[in-house]
A and B are shown apart, each in its own frame.
Chain A
Amino acid sequence: MKLSHLTEPPLEFGGAMRHVDIRFGLMDYGPFDAGMEGAPKRIKVGIVGSAETVEGTARWLESCRTGFEAKASRQPNLFPVFPGLSFEEAFRCEFVTSDELQRVLPPKEIARLAAIPGQREMTRAVVESIADEIGVLSERTTKPDVVLVALPIEIIQRTYNARAATSSENDDGAPDESGPELDFRGMLKASCMRLHLPIQLLWPTTFDPAYKIPRKLKENSDRRTQDPATIAWNLLTAVYYKAGGLPWRLARDARQLRTSFVELSFYRSIDGEHVHTSTAQMFDERGEGLILRGGRMVESEEDRRPHLTAEDAYELLRNSLKVFRQQHGHYPARVVLHKTSRFDRNELAGFHKAIDERDIDYADLIWVQKSMTRLYRLGVYPPLRGSLLRFEKDQALLYTRGSVEFFRTYPGMYVPRPLMLRCQALGQPLQHVAAEMLALTKMNWNNTQFDNGLPITIAAAKQVGEVLKYVPDGQEIAPRYSFYM
């Protein structure tokens, strides 16, 4: 066993400047695409909600213009100021909204929706009603770039049962007990896909922390509202990305191979209870995420978990590579596949066939899991993020959550769980694979605090599955990750 530490991977911002931290990087250098052709200059923000929430959200957006003070904290790096919105600050672009970009659900309609009995029926009706409003916006001459869906309390109460809007963190893949209940978020995203408008859900607590949202008894953690600066950072970064901007990318050495990171995952379809369908999420160093839907799963005799047939594995990767080529004009020099379960014999055969067919010399097939194997420090704080324990040349434990030197604290609860990495095909040294994995945890556009537990490939998988399960087979799916996050 060999223990070492990976330094915090830097990210690249405007002017090719680098910083380890997202928010300070944006503040100091602006987004990666600042000054580039196609970078958003003026983002038209649509808003849909009740009279109250639309007005509140518009007011909030207005107040973002002047910025928010840093949270009073002794961790100045963890809770920085939000400097405001202008051509000189953070995003180097404007965020605007106006009456033409807004749609208000009448009180009568909200009351009607909230009164519909049955979770499934009500969710369907709410989704339809909100999607209709977004549809109206999508046909206007001044079309919004992104739509904020500011949910009224009455609808939150009825639609969010056991899940929170952004629960991609700390997910252990535990089976969802809500069973046949419909997931409002996934369904709404799925139904807005055809409108070609990315949406962002938000709760009234965003613009007014005094809002009390009654929760079900089952939910025990209070939803503690973040400080205004953090809210603005997170929400506006997501909006910037959804509007086509590129806030940051992985800082990579020019000598490194052009790599495509692909995550393979399965989700359970809503129509047939036990049918799993596979997807591939593909990311390059720009975090450009592309989503593909693959074949149906088969249950492997080896471990009785969902797997792809050799043919489906081949098809899925072949298509991924094709999409990469359409984007970049060439095939990647290296492919990294992530999966949260073991690659079985058939999958290995299928993937290798697709890789060989394109003469790709470097492939890393990595099985990533949260681990119960842990390290304990002799102190209050858990081990540092970046701690890497190598067992052998193809297996290692990586701390992606842990004490963060830049924040000078451990920004989490309980003792963190590291990731166990097992490389079933190793093209690059394990140290390199692990460093890349750590860097990929920083590519989450939904969160500007960089110490995410999972790499974006895997974090995205769950969100993608939750949306895709509501998109019927045969219907075209949006390839951009913006429509799923």
Chain B
Amino acid sequence: MKKIGRSDIIGQRGMAHIDGVVHSMGYVFYPTGGVEAGIDGYIELRDEQTEVVGNLLLQVQGKSTERQRLQAETDDSFEFPCSENDISYWLHGTAPVLLIVVLPERGTAYWKSIKEWFRDPERLKARKVVFDKNNDEFDRNAKQAIAAIALATSPGAVAPSARIQEDLLVNLLGVSFGKTLYWAPTDHATDKSFGAALREIDPDAGGEWIVRSKSVLSFHDLDRWPWNKLCQAEAMEEFGSDEWADSDDEDRQRDFVALLNRAMGRFVQPTLWHDRDSGAYYFRKPRDRDKLRYAYKSLKSFVPRDVVKRYGKRRDDPTRPAYFRHSAFLHRFTRLGSEWYAEITPTYHFTRDGYKPDELFGGERLKRIKELENNAAVMGQFVMWRHFLTTHGTATLYADQYPFLGFLALDPLCLEVGVPDDLWKSQEGDPGSPLFDWAQAEAAS
């Protein structure tokens, strides 16, 4: 009577499982077949999109078991003992070796890169592989990690792209503005003289106007007090803002941007102040406190951020801070296509006491913090400013909505390829590098 042993069947089930998973990754699996000393097959990496294969191979040693309980098994891990012969065979090879333990009864499998695992001499002495059930599962999700192992052994090899779809934010906000513009002749030739005359009549008059060649252009109705005192209201003309906003004439566009900038100054009041030198708007320090927190809706939840804070000690008087750091942004109005946007660039403003700019060291401090901050840090600030600008000045019980300027968040943009952050981070050679160390960036800031 002929027989095929139970262990052969178990082994074959294990191979079938591996084969299925590898193909679900879009990679190719070649079972060794024939004579072999322990390597059951090869995985070849393949780009699912372009279907290109580049002879990037990994060896696979499968171990299939029907044991109910694995060695030292807990909810999170188990051990797999290895023979000395196996280990030395694996480590001698030229290609990376994956040890894959298949549990056909449970329908799962776990994997480890053997050369990486046994690089640690302690582990080599213990002659066992400890699998982490949460991280080592051999399924489609292990695809990128497996590619990383193949590539690490072959510098210069071009990897199949990480086809991770991901969302990106562009640092633009949609802009809405007053529908009407008013134009009227005036005797004043400059912004400066018009402004001075205006404030004499009404110190609180808005600043949403500009003077160009002896005429005023304004979001305010120039027929009303106090504007009508300073221009020839009877010669006033009313325009749809679009005549400026959509104009291809460069002078008109420049004037329109100037007007939007004036509106911006008004819009952010009273929360933000403006630094003339850098053009940045920044959170002002509260009169009675050394710190200001601003809670905003980040991508997931509300988070507080210190937007004004004191740092260091003064050498001559250690009770006083060396400087204050204020969260700030630079902005630019720009027309892209047929739409107007505000481009928002997060930055910082440094003061000596919460008020006077830190002229001596401010530039150096800004440079330093910029060297430390990475994409995630800057994105966080952008999201905060986006929250501020899209919610500030909306109508409340006590105040009407600001009529001349408003901002709209844009939807994230989807890209078909992405960056596998965790995978790359594990590759960073210098873990102390401030560039990649979030905690360090925070601590230094």
Spell out A's residues near B (CB within 8 Å).
Answer: 1, 3-5, 7, 19-21, 23-24, 27-28, 70, 72-77, 80, 220, 302-303, 372-384, 387, 389, 391-392, 395, 403, 405-406, 408-410, 413-415
Contacts and interface: CB of A to CB of B under 8 A. Distances in A.
Nearest to A27: B156
Contacts of A372: 171, 330, 332, 343, 345
Contacts of A20: 158
Question: What are the nearest 5 A-B pairs in CB distance?
Answer: A24-B156, A76-B155, A376-B379, A3-B413, A379-B421
Contact of A373 (B151, B171, B416): B171
24 contacts: A1-B170, A1-B410, A4-B415, A72-B429, A73-B429, A74-B428, A372-B332, A373-B343, A375-B170, A375-B171, A375-B413, A376-B171, A377-B419, A378-B168, A378-B299, A378-B376, A379-B376, A384-B418, A391-B336, A392-B336, A408-B151, A409-B424, A413-B371, A415-B375
A384 B419 contact: yes
B250 A302 contact: yes
Interface string B376-391: 1011001000000000
Nearest to A412: B435
Nearest to B423: A408
Nearest to B168: A375
Interface stretch (B159-167, B208-216, B316-324): B159-167
Nearest to A411: B435
A430 B197 CA distance: 51
Nearest to B417: A5
Contacts of B429: 72-75
Contact of B375 (A7, A373, A377): A377
A405 B330 CA distance: 31
Contacts of A405: 159, 161-162, 419
Q: Is the interface of A mostly helix, strand, loop or mixed?
A: loop
Nearest to B435: A413
Contacts of B330: 372
B45 to A, nearest CB: 14
Contact of A376 (B151, B168, B417, B421): B168
Interface in B392-425: 410, 413-419, 421, 423-425
Interface string B125-167: 0000000000000000000000010011001101101100011
B167 A378 contact: yes
Nearest to B438: A380
B364 interface: yes
Contact of B382 (A73, A376, A381): A376
Interface residues of B, number: 54
B44 interface: no
Interface in B161-196: 161-162, 166-172
A74 B152 CA distance: 8
A360 to B, nearest CB: 28
Contacts of A72: 429
B422 to A, nearest CB: 9
A119 to B, nearest CB: 25
A70 B155 contact: yes
A373 B156 contact: no
Given A409-B424, A415-B374, A21 B156 contact: yes
A374 B415 contact: no
A220 B168 contact: no
B171 A374 contact: yes
Nearest to B160: A405
A215 to B, nearest CB: 16
A423 to B, nearest CB: 14
B252 interface: no
B375 A380 contact: yes
B162 A379 contact: no
Contact of B166 (A7, A28, A303, A378): A378
A49 B169 CA distance: 52
